[in-house]
Structure formats: C-alpha cells, structure tokens
Chain A
C-alpha cells in the first residue's frame, strides 16, 4: 500500500489535511472492524451495522488517502489545519457505528459520544450503558484508546517523509509545551510512543484481570485508563465493582497514564531512575499527595468516616487530577469546599507528554513560578531572577507561549460558562461542565456530576461542550489558528488578521 519514491504521484491533490484525515479514517475503520469481530464473538445483534460502518469509514478513508499526497513544503499553519481535520474526521467516522446501530435518538448525540470518546473526556449521553451491545461498548472504549495517544501520532507512524513538518505535526497534537524526540526520525518517535502505549495497555489489562474484572471489562477499562479517558462499560462506572482492589489498581494505573511517556520509554529501556530524577514527576506526586490529604481532611471534617474518606478521596483526586473521570462516589453531594478543590484539580491536569488533559502541571508550575518571581523582583527591582523549573531556566518565549495558553484556557472556560448559562443551565453546572470539557475530564459539578450524564444539557449546550472538548484536547492553538485561517480564507483581501507584514498607510507613498 505504501507509496515509493518511484511512483508518479503528481496527479494527486497535494493536501496534508486531507491525506492525514484519510489515514486517520483508515485506522478508525480498522477499530470498528475489530469491534464488529468482538460483537460477533459475543453473539450480539449489531454485527452487520458495525461491519457496514467499518466499510463506509474505510472507503472514505481510502479515497481520501489515495487521491491526496503530502505536499513538498508544509507550513506551520497547514500542520495545525491537518491536525484539526484529522480529529474532526475521526470524530465523524467514530460516530457512524452509533448511527448505523441506532444507538441514539439524534445524530448529534452520536457525534457527542464520539467526540467525547476520541478527546478522552468520557462525558456520556448513552443510557442505559449496560443494555448496549458489546461491540458498541468496545468501540466506545476503543475511541478513547485511539484518542489518548492521538490520531495524528498514529498517522505519522506510517507517513513516509515529512521532515520538519512531521515534528510540527507531533507538536501540534502532543499535550504539553514541548515534545521530546525519542528517535532521530519522526515516524520512529511516533512508533516508539505507540509501542509504550500499547504495552502499557496490555499490562493494565493483565492487572485489571488479576484484581477480579472479567476479560471484557479488563480490556475495555484498560483502554480507557491508559488513555485517561474514563468511559466505563457500567452505568455505575467503577462503583459497579465496589472493590478496593480494583480502585487501588486503577489509582496506580491512572497516575502512570498521566505521567510523561518519555519517562516510561526510558524506564522500559532500563533506566528506572528516570522517574525519580524528573522534577515534574516528583511535583506531580506531591500535588497528588497534598490534594488527597486536603480532600480527606475536608471530608472527615464534614463527618465522613476516615477509611471511606481515604478511599473516596484518593480515588476522586486521582481521577480528576489525571483527567480520567471514572466515578465511584457522587461528589456533587459532598461539601462545597471539597467540590471546589476537585474543580481546581480539573484545571491542573497531569504531566505534559502524557495522555491526561487539563492545563498540564508544567504550565501551572511555570505560571506559579512567574508569579513568585514577580514578588522577588518587586523586592529587589534591579536583581536578575531567571525563571527556573527543576534547575533549568525557562526562556522568555516559552513563558509567553505558556502564558498565552493559560490565558486562552481560562478564557475558553469562562466563555463556555457564559454560553452555557445563557443557554439556561445554572452557574455551577455550567462552570463544572466547561472546566470538565476543556480539561477532558468527564464528570462535572451540579446536575452533571458523576452519577448523572450529559443529557441534562440542551442540544445547543452539548454543541458548545463538544467544541470545548476538541479545543481542550488539541490544546487551544490548533483550533484557534484553524479558525483564524478559515476566516482569512473565507474573506480574501479584506481581513488579514495574521499577516506579519508591516501595514502601509494608504496615504503614504510606496
């Protein structure tokens, strides 16, 4: 199938966005086919519709892939566009099995479930979950598995030559302000990331089997735990198992899912000390411990028994800090202070370069260090204080880009909250759902808590949440840049919002 350098491919349309989307759809189609096989094995009723969906998506993907090629030169703006296109295509492709199987009443519900799956959010509009055919449940988990490491990373593993553009593609999709090269070649880096990821999923499935899950549950939950997605095959989520062993195993698995995969790669290569040497990993663990202790204190002060408080506290801190979103307790019933603490955790997220969502701890830390640095500078106005993270200095342009990200992130949450409240939802539910969507958590606060689902929102409100989930998963810039480019393209010659050329005044002689 792969093109060789000798092929005359000049007849194909040179469009990176369409080409990458086609590849992503081919992978989606393979996933749906696997779900059809599972469905057939379980003797379910939806084998035909799943197979048909796989064929539809596969045909669309193959068409796009075959009739387009990678352009000779790839600009940064086009890589963003390609990432967004691949994600939108995957989300639409991923919704097709639900549409063919008539799982939902509305078309947009199917799309919501698919977007929520691929972005690793795990907000669901599927009720009841347990009555749904196994193939579809498997596909739901599979979307999270794909989305966790990323459709574009997957596509890059098979793209033959991309040069500089490939790393830009990875950067545009990978969570965090910078991405490490694991190998000299970009496609090799992408492959290694996927090896670690798949290996980790296999280990997780074995661990979950060992603590007492059935084979189907173990596999589907391993998909959603390594991707820190959080969809479950049960209506009561993890509460269904009601087992301390399962919860403890999931806590560890979620924490590792939210750890930088570069560290895992080094550990696999024999360098176990890499975890301890990473200052961000130590910080991640401290945040986890401090948040758990604080939450347990609040819960105990509110009258919960200590063993219950530790069990529920540790699990819910982990599930929101890592942006997974599994549920064991209905935390919207907890005291307001506990809920606000959980809301704060939704903002932070896990480590950069992991599958977790949120702002990422490194950005939080850069922003906090910058704030502290300003206090120092006020006291000693002429001293030079470098901005340091874990011994290394952070440059001014990284600070600017981290700050811009943080501001866009907060602004998006605020904008989404305003939009949801104007659409008639109450403030706490809106704020919780916005933070949850942008951070790819799943459960929110108020009416959209862990024991509820997103059917409480009106259909336009769910549209807002969908955009939020995609924007959050792709880390703001790809969506923002694509929107700006679209606006520019649609209004030629009139709007030049991103031109860097100096503007010449009309009355000035050239």
Chain B
C-alpha cells in the first residue's frame, strides 16, 4: 500500500469503503472459483459482480487514503459506510445469481451473514449451488474478521479495547488508524483468525466432513456466524464426533483471540489462565450445559442429551447459532437459559457478540461496590477486571451501554410484536438478534420454520437489531447520525449530539 501515490486525497470513509469493496470482490471471485466445477451458471454472475466491484474498489483505494488519526464520529461513520457497502454488494450478488428473487430476502441474508447472525431465509440450502453456499459462509467469515478489526480500531474509544496485561482500562479520544501499533495488532488478529479457521477446517475434516463442508462450516463457526449448508445444521451429520468438533470451534469463536494468541506463543500462558473473563466464560459454559442437560433429560441423563445441551449452550454463549436439536420441544426453563446465555454473550475481543462477559464482570463489581457503600458510605474501592483497574469513566460508559442494550432489546421486541409475531417469538427473537446469535424461541426455535416463515415486516424489523448488536450500538448510532448530518449539512444540527 505504501507504493501508492503520496498525493492521495485524505478521506477515511472513502478509503474504508474502497477496502470493503475490494475484500468483497476478492471473496466473490474466490466463491466463483470454488463453485466453478460444480455449477458454472452460478459462478459466472458472481465473478462478474466481483469484477465490477473490484474496479470500483481499486479506484477508490487509488484515489483516497485514510487519516492517520480520526475523530470517533468520522471513524464510526466510515465503518458503518464500509459495512453497508459490503452488505449492498452481497445483496447484488445474491440477486445476480438468482438465489433470491426479492431484494428484501437478499438483503436479509446479507445483513444476517455479515452480522454473523444465523438467521437465514434460504429455504433449501442442499439445492443451492456451491458457489452461493461458499459466498454465504464467506460473508460470515468476513463479518467475524470485521468484528475483530473493530476491536482494535473502535473499541478503545468505548474503553473495552484489546488491552495488554497490566494496562488500565481507559477510554481514548481519537481513533489511531495508522500507527505501527495498530498495524501490528491488526496483523496479529488477522493471522490468528486465519490460523483458527485452518484449525477448524482440519478439525471438521478429521471428524468426517468432506472438504467443502469442512471449509464452509469452519468459516461459519470460527466467525460465530452459524449459517449452515444443510437444513438441519449440525443434526444433518448425525455424528457425535462432528458435534464435539463443533463445540470446540464455537468455544474458540466466543473466546478472546488476543488471549489465545498470547497462549499460543507460550509467552504468558500464566496470564491466560489468570484471566477473570476466560474463567467466567468457561465456567458459564460448563454450568449452563449441566443445568440445561439435567432439565432436558427425560429419564436419566444419557450422553446424547449432555452433548446436545453442551452444543446448544456453547452455540448460544458464543452467539454462533449452529443447532443440533429442535429445542422448541423443551420446557421453557432451559430455553430461557439459552436466551440468557446469548444475551450475555461471548468474551470481549471475540468474534461472538452479545453484552460480553467483561462488561458483566465489571458491572457486577460496581454493584458490589454500591452494596459496600450502603454499609460503609465512605469506602473507596477500585473496580477491577482480573488484575487491571477500570476507570470510573469506563464503568459509566458500560452503564450507558447497558441501558442502550436493554432499550434496544425492549423496543425491538415491541416492534417485532407489532409486526404480528407472538410474544415469545418477539422477545426471544429480539434478544437473539441483538446478540447476533440467531435461533430463539417460538417461531424462531430451530426446526420451527425459521426466518423464512416470518412475515416480511418482521424480517425487516430484525435487520437494524442485528446491525446494532454487531457494531455495538454507539458506533452505528453515531456513525449514522454523522452520515446523515454530512448529507444534510445545511439543516440545523441537533443540539444533543
């Protein structure tokens, strides 16, 4: 990239949009290549879409360069813009191949894919050309990668970035886009993401999948996506080995990749085990699996029930959304536990979504501090995440985040209910969509028809929930507001932002 002209125009939004288009274009070409042997008629439109996109993308990259340091508002606007451009290209690709005939279906599949949610409107994946299936899995993989990049580029603003051990959690005021540190962090994360995906492919292939399935399932698992090449998701394989491999992959998807990276390099493996968040994550998976297994066991616990419970819990905690059993037949109790698991979600710095365990730990510590203050009003206590202190300022941000999260779920559920689904589907669907998990209760329980059976208006209402949840609310809201105000510069500005 350094070989480009030095006199490029400085515009982060245009540069990131160009980058997104180039990524999408390469993905489309790759999908066309993979699917060429299977069905050339599906590959050709994908390749053509990719080619046109590549021309536009390269032109943008040639013309623009990013600012080295960017205000949060512009950075967020750029990220939202790039994200929407990706979704638009994917929509066009689906329409060009003819997988979906309606724009809203193609857009739903694209947004669900990029946000790594597992809600799909593809009714018959087995009859779909391989090229499209591969692209579909790739959208999730790209979505997961973007989520990881956001951890480096965006989260420091919110104070829950990718911290080194011993550093305090504090909020930065500028997004540093071009620095050696940022570049090194991005390279590291990308390489570990690639490594994990490769591991996933080997794991799934070794467990008995064919190569195409192994690659696509690894892509949708490591990215915490949850799309599947088969109508029954993991139940299709009917293999205990593959299901346990899936559990392993989803556990990785919900874990903090930077932590894993450090442990792989063997430098500070001790710090990995000391991570309070990792402990809580593993504990949550184990405890929830046991509780769900026992509350779904009919007469005595057998290994299938335990496996299915573990799979479902891991799938929801990591917000992947792969399914192995139609849990709509369970009692409401274990199903509610799954929804809570998805709502809390994965670790910070993972590809999975949700409220994130780090925030839960920090907010619990702040609740504890308030309880102490009730008894000892003058007590001074620091809030810590593991060994690292957290600025009160960052805790305040988490408090704000929590409100936005709950209000989004609440309003989302209200809107979903207004579009005509029943109460259970509305509430659980909103929780699951905001957490970018996918499967929920009621009409959205695995095996109950899924997103394609929902009314059009309901699917439309799910779109903003998935985007908000994936990009952690304030980037989307601030970004969209910035984009709108850039478009309507002449209009009077709103005072409150």
Contact = CB atoms under 8 A, between A and B. Distances in A.
Interface in A403-449: 403-408, 410, 414, 417-418, 421-428, 430-431, 445
A80 B379 contact: no
A132 interface: no
Interface string A207-250: 00000000000000000000000000000000000000000000
B340 A407 contact: no
Contacts of B421: 336
A484 interface: yes
A375 B427 contact: no
B396 interface: yes
B375 to A, nearest CB: 4
A374 B397 contact: yes
A contact face: mostly helix, strand, loop, or mixed: helix
Given A80-B374, A417-B336, A421-B336, A375 B399 contact: no
B414 A341 contact: yes
B402 A407 contact: yes
B378 to A, nearest CB: 9
Interface in B178-197: none
B63 interface: no
B123 to A, nearest CB: 26
In the complex, which of the residues B173, B331, B371, B377 has the most CB atoms of chain A within 10 Å of its own CB atom? B371
B374 A76 contact: yes
Interface string A108-147: 0000000000000000000000000000000000000000
A500 B335 CA distance: 40
A372 B473 CA distance: 12
A163 B98 CA distance: 79
Interface string A73-87: 001110010000000
Interface stretch (A53-61, A314-322, A393-401): A393-401
B392 A378 contact: no
In the complex, which of the residues A339, A379, A481 has the most CB atoms of chain B within 10 Å of its own CB atom? A379
Given A336-B417, A378-B76, A410-B406, A477 B336 contact: no
In the complex, which of the residues B335, B336, B407, B424 has the most CB atoms of chain A within 10 Å of its own CB atom? B336
A105 interface: no
A374 B427 contact: no
Interface in B353-375: 363, 366-367, 369-375
A322 B406 CA distance: 22
B427 A340 contact: yes
Contact of A498 (B158, B335, B372, B402): B372
A338 to B, nearest CB: 8
A76 B375 contact: yes
A365 to B, nearest CB: 11
Given A341-B414, A378-B76, A381-B173, A427 B401 contact: no
B488 to A, nearest CB: 16
Interface residues of A, number: 58
Nearest to B291: A422
A381 B157 contact: yes
Nearest to A420: B333
Interface in A345-402: 367-368, 370-379, 381-382, 396-397, 399-401
A399 B174 CA distance: 26
A426 B332 contact: yes
B485 to A, nearest CB: 10
A371 B400 contact: yes
A396 B397 contact: no
B367 A408 contact: yes
Contact of A500 (B172, B295, B381): B381
A337 B417 contact: yes
Contact of A381 (B171, B337, B426): B171
B403 interface: yes
A344 interface: yes
Contacts of A381: 71-72, 157, 171-174
Given A340-B414, A498-B372, A371 B336 contact: no
A498 B371 contact: yes
B73 A371 contact: no
B423 interface: yes
Interface in B146-170: 157-158
Interface string A8-36: 00000000000000000000000000000
A70 B376 CA distance: 21
Nearest to A77: B375
Contact of B403 (A76, A368, A379, A430): A368
B371 A414 contact: no
Interface in A286-316: 298
Interface in B403-437: 403-404, 406-407, 410, 413-414, 417-418, 421-424, 426-428
Given A75-B375, A337-B417, A500-B376, A401 B392 contact: no
A498 B375 contact: yes
Contacts of A397: 373
Contacts of A298: 418
B478 A379 contact: yes
Nearest to B172: A381
B376 A76 contact: yes
A431 B474 CA distance: 28
Given A337-B417, A341-B414, A418 B371 contact: no
A480 interface: yes
Contact of B399 (A344, A403, A408): A403
B403 A481 contact: no
Nearest to A421: B333
A80 B377 CA distance: 13
Interface string B376-389: 11010100000000
B177 interface: no
Nearest to B378: A500
B111 interface: no
A500 B379 contact: yes
A340 B417 CA distance: 8
A399 B396 contact: yes
B333 A336 contact: no
A374 B496 CA distance: 11
Contacts of B157: 378, 381
B496 A372 contact: yes
Given A401-B370, A421-B332, A428-B423, A481 B375 contact: yes
Contacts of B367: 404, 407-408
Given A370-B396, A422-B295, A375 B414 contact: no
A370 B403 contact: yes
Contacts of A80: 374-375
Nearest to A446: B423
Interface in A473-503: 477, 480-481, 484, 498, 500
B393 to A, nearest CB: 9
A431 B427 contact: yes
A400 B366 contact: yes
Contacts of A401: 370, 373
Contacts of B375: 75-77, 80, 481, 498
B340 A414 contact: yes
A374 B418 contact: no
Nearest to A344: B410
A403 B367 CA distance: 8
Contacts of A408: 367
B374 A399 contact: no
Nearest to B381: A500
Interface of B: 71-73, 76, 157-158, 171-174, 295, 331-333, 335-337, 340, 363, 366-367, 369-377, 379, 381, 392, 395-397, 399-404, 406-407, 410, 413-414, 417-418, 421-424, 426-428, 441, 474, 477-478, 481-482, 496-497
**10 closest cross-chain pairs (CB), A and B:** A381-B173, A404-B370, A374-B400, A336-B417, A422-B333, A421-B333, A337-B418, A371-B403, A337-B417, A403-B399
Given A375-B496, A397-B373, A428-B423, 8 more contacts: A80-B374, A336-B417, A340-B417, A374-B474, A375-B477, A422-B295, A427-B427, A500-B381
10 contacts: A337-B418, A340-B427, A367-B403, A370-B400, A371-B400, A371-B407, A400-B399, A403-B399, A427-B424, A427-B441
